[in-house]
Structure 1
Amino acid sequence: MIALVIFIGALYALPNMYGEDPSVQIIGVRGTSVSSLTLDTVKSTLEKEKLPYKSITLEKGTVLVRFSDTDIQIAGRDVLSSLLGDDVIVAFNLAPATPSWLEAINAHPMKLGLDLRGGVHFLMEVDMDATMEKLLSQQVETFRTALREAKIRYRSIQANKNEHVEVLFHNGADMDAAESKLAILHTDMVFIIDNLHLSISGRFTEERLQEIRNYAVDQNITILRNRVNELGVAEPLVQRQGVRRIVVELPGVQDTARAKEILGATATLEFREVDVSTRLITTSIDRIPLGSEVKQTRDGRPVILKKHIILGGSSITDASASFDEYHRPQVKISLDSDGGRKMAAFSKNHVGKLMATVFTEYKDSGKRDKHGNIMLSKHEEVINQATIQTALGRNFRITGMDTQAEAYNLALLLRAGTLTAPISIIEERTIGPSMGQQNIDMGIRACFFGMTAVMIFMFIYYRRFGLFANCALFANLVLIIGIMSMIPGVTMTLPGIAGIVLTVGMAVDANVLIFERIREKLQEGRNPQQAIHQGYANAFTTIADANITTLITAVILFAVGTGAVKGFAVTLSIGIMTSMFTAIIGTRSLVNLVYGGKCIDKLSI
């Protein structure tokens, strides 16, 4: 049993010996697959640019190009990005060089933290202009509803580019009544009356504007953390930088292309009523009703939709991808209580009418404004039109996705949360160890020399029994690495190496207690077999108490700590459990193998 456990641990620790290749990963947007034509294009382009590569593979709709060093990797990524355009996502990656026979048994190298291996670094910027535009658009609808409920007539309501909402009236009486009504309802706005033009301009106070901007960044940070959790990245860093920027660092990430797509996506859904009262012959503006607008489907067909948004993505609490009864990709959606109430009220009064699902996302336009900020372009398309058969509640489904991968990605985005404001990736790079290669080498060297010194001491002081302890100590290290490679989400960090070094001392401490108990029994006149039995039996309670209290401390560190502290706690916890196995059961099996069932007069201890 012990040999089998150590063999399995060594087998799953073996992939860590093969290292990783700097790579470039290419996937289609929205999770779609790339074809063999893209593979041929990549090959010919790299050969034309004389960029040597180790291999190019197409697996599960993803092209992976392996290079020999990071310089060629960066050059290859730049060339392929400019060639392939916006139809695909080209991202850096570090692909494990694990042999296929190990991958067949799901054996992979353990994930290393930013301080050991590096990872992917994204610098993201929040589009505040789009945030204010969206907020003012909502405020226009709020003003319109309030004035209609108060039965106050007005000529028009519109949002101006200078962050004002302007309302025009027919006479001064309506204007005064509206000012009194709006001032009571919106205490966070300042209203300016223009008697000459019979208008009221409402603008948010500076305190409210600052609160809106801070909320947009903070809420995006929360949602990005949720998306990182969906990606399964261990110990990520998501933090604010400056007024409108967010830093995301993903250590040990395997699928950087998908990470880039999911983090940078600003996708959301809007549910709108289809305007069937007007037959669309042309998309000319003068033929479109005042309260409607034209959107297009994925294949370019125009659809007239009411401007009023029934429901937005912020009301979605859960989403999952599956297949419908016709084996078409679908997304099942769950709403919060307020969203469910709105959907139920609308669908109840519109049975038999069409409701459209509008997919909206923001993309980098390649342009910058006068302040140097990236300008995003808004892309909208109608992905679904369905007849409301009956009153809907908090749970319903949408179809219209081309592939299951697209449905899965959409569900992930909706489940993790809709970004409060559009966000763009302004910098992407792979980063090396944050503490420097020298510190990493010193940490590994400290672990090696520490183990070597302990092994030499144990062998000299306890002789053959010291050799048993050294075998157990080496097996303990193999098991720690093997278990950390097997558990998803566990990341090895530099503090994790400290945890291993500490575990080495604790494992030897257990053997020291056992061996000293054996010596005591021999000095009391017990025969060697009795001394061995009683030595292990008497030391077990002390060893268990010491390890359990340390394990409790490690669990508390993991529960309340963050980042590097958690990495230390995980390694320490695994090391405590494996050391109990190797130091007690492992050494006892070796002792039994050598001395068991034999009549001996002297022990080499």
Structure 2
Amino acid sequence: MLQIETWKRVLIWAVLALGIVLSLPNAFYTRVEQHNDAVAAIEKGADTEENQGLAAQWPDFLPSGLVNLGLDLRGGAHLLAEVKVADVYAARMEALWPDVRDVLRPERETVGTIRLLPSEPGELRVRISEPAGMPRALELVRGLAQPVVSLTGAGSTDIQVRAEGDQIVVTLSEAEQLATDERTMQQSLEIIRRRIDEVGTREPTIQRQGEDRILIQVPGIGSAQELKDIIGTTAQLTFQPVVGSTDNPDTAPGVGNEILPYLDREGTYAILEQAPVVTGEELVDAQPSFDQNGRPAVNFRFNPAGARKFGDYTADNIGSPFAIVLDGEVISAPVIQSHIAGGSGIITGNFTIEESTNLAVLLRAGALPAGMNFLEERTIGPELGQDSIDAGKVAATVAMVAVVLFVIASYGFFGFVASVALTFNMLLIIAILSLIGATLTLPGIAGIVLTIGMAVDANVLVFERIREEARTAKGPARAIELGYDRAMSAIVDANITTFFGAAILFMLGSGPVRGFAVVLMIGIVTSVFTAIYVTRLFIVMWFERKRPRSIEI
């Protein structure tokens, strides 16, 4: 008998109502977006009257999720960056010097005095005063070598050690360079992604291109320079011993030392040991806070290895200054008052609340392992995006009108029911996109237009089946029931194969291709739901009210 249980009716109406509510904010896009931005700013501490007013533009009891617009619809910034992987080689060699020094010191009777020499980037040169002890020195330094951690470098070590007269020359092996390049690129991709996501932008496109380049596209960013400010800050945090201070930046610091400016003392420079005691790579957390005087600061915490090194150094150097260096500037150089155990501390300086928050974000995301050269940068204006949106609206409207006219002309009242279900289908697509935070691109709009065309396929199968069953004189109720039941398998088969194709596009594609695939997969699910359940509910409700003796399709 043609009927639908009450709980199913309630569930179908609940899904449709939820779709309407979730898609509603997109009808007031600018207002809701300003509300969301203001709420985010207030949560970060910018509780101003302006933000309070913007936050009040949209009721808090209503959902505020929006369909994120892609770069081609909203405008934004486009960057092509080249990662300077050679910088990592130099940093590795600088960090190796303390280990080489410590391993050679116990053998001074054999190798003589040890002296660090100025070296080319990517190599470490150490002079010993007793050339006769060179074989023993090479043996000790080669003992520092570690296996290369990569599939292609299996069986190789990370450093090569050779002698040139009375000098020991250490360089990275070719296998380690390849492995380092791969790690550097993967780390850069992940850090850029974390930085961009954490500062509140939506659905960036971050892809590796070639061996050492990264493509970055972020919708909603006002300019390419704004994006460069977010990405280009390396946030290299180090804790380095202080050797002295000077007013002349041209002072010779000595081998193994460097001169860096103080952030808040103009004209004063610190002489520091180049080899840091602890680096930002050993940080596990950083949060904005306030110091004992109520000024903005950043709390930090090291991992166990960093905490041990930090604690050992502070225990052995009580009374000595200790510089906290961020991106080549000395933020502060406090004197160590006591042993700092536990691996946690606080960074103070002349910060604003916004600066301390941004610094915590950058430190949590991690330091970029290498600098970047920006080879290409451009800003896509919102005007171009608005043209694309307008063109997409025209295409969707034309497709919708054409489909509605076709189904009504072909199936009469049943076609009208299918058209109403098609409207709910569009609302459900927008609601799901808003709920999951997916990004809508121009290819995504193409996916919506394609979904409109595909959405009536299931209804065509059902209506044609009902038409065939009605000819057997089984009665209208039985014809409708059999029409839906017997068309089910064909509908499911057709849509499952299309869904698999869209899933493969999503897994293997990138950028706009994935946006198209996401919309298509969502559209397939909502189309099947509206075609099978929503239209059936409407037709059953009509049949219960009218009780026709025959039906014409």
TM range (shorter): 0.7 to 0.9
Tell me, in whole angstroms, the C-alpha distance in 1 between the residues paired with 2:103 and 2:547: 98
1:409 to 358, 363, 368: 358
* Other structure's SS at 2:546 match: coil
| TM score, norm. by length of structure 2 | 0.72
Structure 2 partner of 1:173 = 132
Q: Structure 1: which amino acid aligns with 2:68?
A: K
Separation (CA, whole Å) in 2 of partners of 1:596 and 1:253:
55
Matching residue of 2:278: 311
Q: Could you tell me how far apart the structure 2 residues matched to 1:284 and 1:552 are?
A: 64
Which of these residues, 207, 219, 239, is aligned with residue 238 of structure 1?
A: 207
Partner of 1:153: 112
- Contact 1:355–1:388 (8 Å) recurs in 2: no
Aligned partner (choices 393, 412, 437) of residue 463 of structure 1: 412
2 CA distance for matches of 1:163 and 1:600?
87
Q: Call closer, same or farther: CA 1:100–1:595 in 2, change over 3 Å.
A: farther
Shift of 1:236: 0.5
Percent of aligned pairs with the same amino acid: 35
1:512 to 2:483 alignment: no
The answer (yes or no) to whether the contact 1:354–1:388 under 8 Å persists in 2 is no
Counterpart in the other structure of 1:481 = 430
Deviation at 1:157, TM superposition (A): 1.1
The offset of 1:405, in angstroms, is 2.5
Q: How does 1:318-467 map to 2 (within 5 A)?
A: 318-322=285-289, 329-347=296-314, 349=316, 355-360=322-327, 379-383=328-332, 385=334, 387=336, 389-390=338-339, 392-393=341-342, 397-400=346-349, 402-431=351-380, 449-467=398-416
2:286·2:364 contact (CA, 8 Å) conserved in 1? Answer: yes
Q: Which amino acid aligns with 2:277?
A: I
Q: Kindly provide the CA deviation profile for residues 89-140 of structure 1, in whole angstroms up to 9, marking residues without a partner as x.
A: xxxxxxxxx9995698675763344455554111334446755543443343
Q: Which residue of 1 aligns with 2:235?
A: 267
Task: Look up the equivalent residue of 1:11 and give its one-letter code.
Answer: L
- Structure 2 match to 1:363: none
Residue 79 of structure 2 is aligned to residue 122 of structure 1:
yes
Matched residues in 1 for 2:253 and 2:392: separation? 69
Return the alpha-carbon distance in structure 2 between the equivalents of residues 603 and 235 of structure 1. 53
Tell me what 1:138 maps to. 95
Aligned-partner Cα distance in 2 for 1:17–1:473: 26
Opposite residue 239 of structure 1, the aligned amino acid is R
Go from structure 1 to structure 2 and tell me whether the alpha carbon gap of 1:502 and 1:17 turns closer, same or farther (over 3 Å shift): farther
Q: TM-score, normalised by structure 1?
A: 0.67
Distance (whole Å) between structure 1 residues aligned to residue 528 and residue 375 of structure 2: 49
Residue 465 (structure 1) shift: 0.9
CA separation in 2, counterparts of 1:381 and 1:112? 41
How far did residue 317 of structure 1 move? 4.0
Question: Given residue 94 of structure 2, which amino acid in structure 1 is its aligned partner?
Answer: S
Q: For 1:286-307, what per-residue CA distance to the aligned partner results, in whole angstroms no more than 9, with x for missing partners?
A: 9999987665543217666555
Change (3 A) 1:303 1:348: same
Distance change in 2, residues 1:522/1:356 (3 Å): same
Tell me by how many angstroms 1:527 deviates: 4.5
Are the aligned partners of 1:355 and 1:386 in contact in 2 as well (CA < 8 Å)?
Answer: yes
| Distance (Å, rounded) in 2 between the aligned partners of 1:99 and 1:397 | 33
Equivalent AA in structure 2 for residue 587 of structure 1: T
The worse-fitting range, judged by mean Cα deviation, of 403-412 and 316-325 is 316-325
Change (3 A) 1:389 1:583: farther
Shift of 1:471: 2.0
Quickly say closer, same or farther: Cα 1:163–1:547, change in 2 above 3 A: closer
Contact 2:89/2:172 (<8 A) preserved: no
Superimposed CA distance per residue, residues 382-428 of structure 1 (whole angstroms, 9 cap, x where no aligned partner):
24637465553455554446233323322322232311222243542
Q: Which runs of 5+ in 1 are unaligned?
A: 21-30, 36-57, 61-97, 361-378
Describe the SS at the equivalent of 2:359: helix
Question: Judging changes above 3 Å, is the alpha-carbon distance between structure 1 residues 159 and 430 closer, same or farther for their aligned structure 2 residues?
Answer: same
One-letter amino acid of the structure 1 residue matched with residue 416 of structure 2 = L
Aligned residues: CA RMSD: 4.9
Relative distance call for 1:294 and 1:235 in structure 2 (3 A) is closer
The farther-off stretch of 567-576 and 301-310 is 301-310
- Note if contact 1:221-1:240 (Cα within 8 Å) is conserved in structure 2: no
Deviation at 1:438, TM superposition (A): 11
Which secondary structure does the structure 2 equivalent of 1:596 belong to?
helix
CA 1:294–1:583: 2 relative to 1, 3 Å: same
